[in-house]
Amino acid sequence: MSARILTRFYATAIAVFLVWPAVQWGLVTFANVDPWKLCGFAMYAMQHHVEVKVIDRSGEEARDITRALIPRAGKARKHFLRYRQVLGDLVSPDELAEMVFGSTDADRISVVVITWRLGPRSSTFESERRQYFYQRPV
């Protein structure tokens, strides 16, 4: 490969890497992506922790069935949690919901994703809660 082509390749690659962390910052801020991942160099800039709960809303009272999923859909929950921790809102819990319906009698469930971050203004460990509602397909 000639020196000229290499120069073009390296210049292009470096230009992309120069800008990419700004994109990663956007994903972290607006899509709850893990700041320690996706090569944004934001490790040690923010703490990030994700919890996932599954709530059975079939009856009159909502029940937390997260623990009860083990071992039937526990693996699916762990898999979803692993990807959700890294990719944030870009990962949908649809597959997890499908697994839960496949392994429980619940007719209506909600998947609750709680993302914990350090709030720069409050200086506290704050949480943001997102809930996804699902009904058993007929």
Partner 1 sequence: MVGSESSLDEPSRWDVRASRFLGLVGRDDPETLSSKLGAFITLFVLHCAVREWVSLYDVHGDALLSRAPEKVLPLAIWLSLCTLATLTDRYRNAALYGLFMGLTFKLVEHTPTWSNHFTVEWITSVFLLMGARRSEGFPALCQALRWLVFIALFWSGLQKVLHGTYFQGTFLAFVVANSDRFADFFVWVLPAWEFDAVRSTALPGPYRFESWMGLAISNVTWIAEMCFSLLLLTERFRMLAVVGAAVLLVGIEIAARELMFGLLFLNLLLLYPRRDLNRRLLPAFGVAYALILWNRVGLVDFGLTN
Contact footprint for partner 1 (CB under 8 A): 1-4, 6-15, 17-18, 21, 25, 28, 35-47, 82-83, 86-87, 118, 120-126
* Closer residue to partner 1 (CB): 3 or 138: 3
* Closer residue to partner 1 (CB): 7 or 135: 7
* Closer residue to partner 1 (CB): 59 or 119: 119
User: CB of residue 13 vs partner 1: minimum separation in angstroms?
Assistant: 7
DSSP assignment of 79-133, as one string?
Answer: HHHHHHHHHGGGS-THHHHHHHHHHS--SEEEEEEEEEEE-TTT-SEEEEEEEEE
User: CB of residue 39 vs partner 1: minimum separation in angstroms?
Assistant: 4
User: CB of residue 105 vs partner 1: minimum separation in angstroms?
Assistant: 33
User: CB of residue 101 vs partner 1: minimum separation in angstroms?
Assistant: 26
* Closer residue to partner 1 (CB): 123 or 138: 123
Angle formed by the axes of helices 74-87 and 94-103, nearest 10°: 170
> Do the Cβ atoms of 112 and 56 come closer than 8 Å?
no
Query: Looking at residue 69, what DSSP letter applies?
Result: G
> Do the Cβ atoms of 108 and 135 come closer than 8 Å?
yes
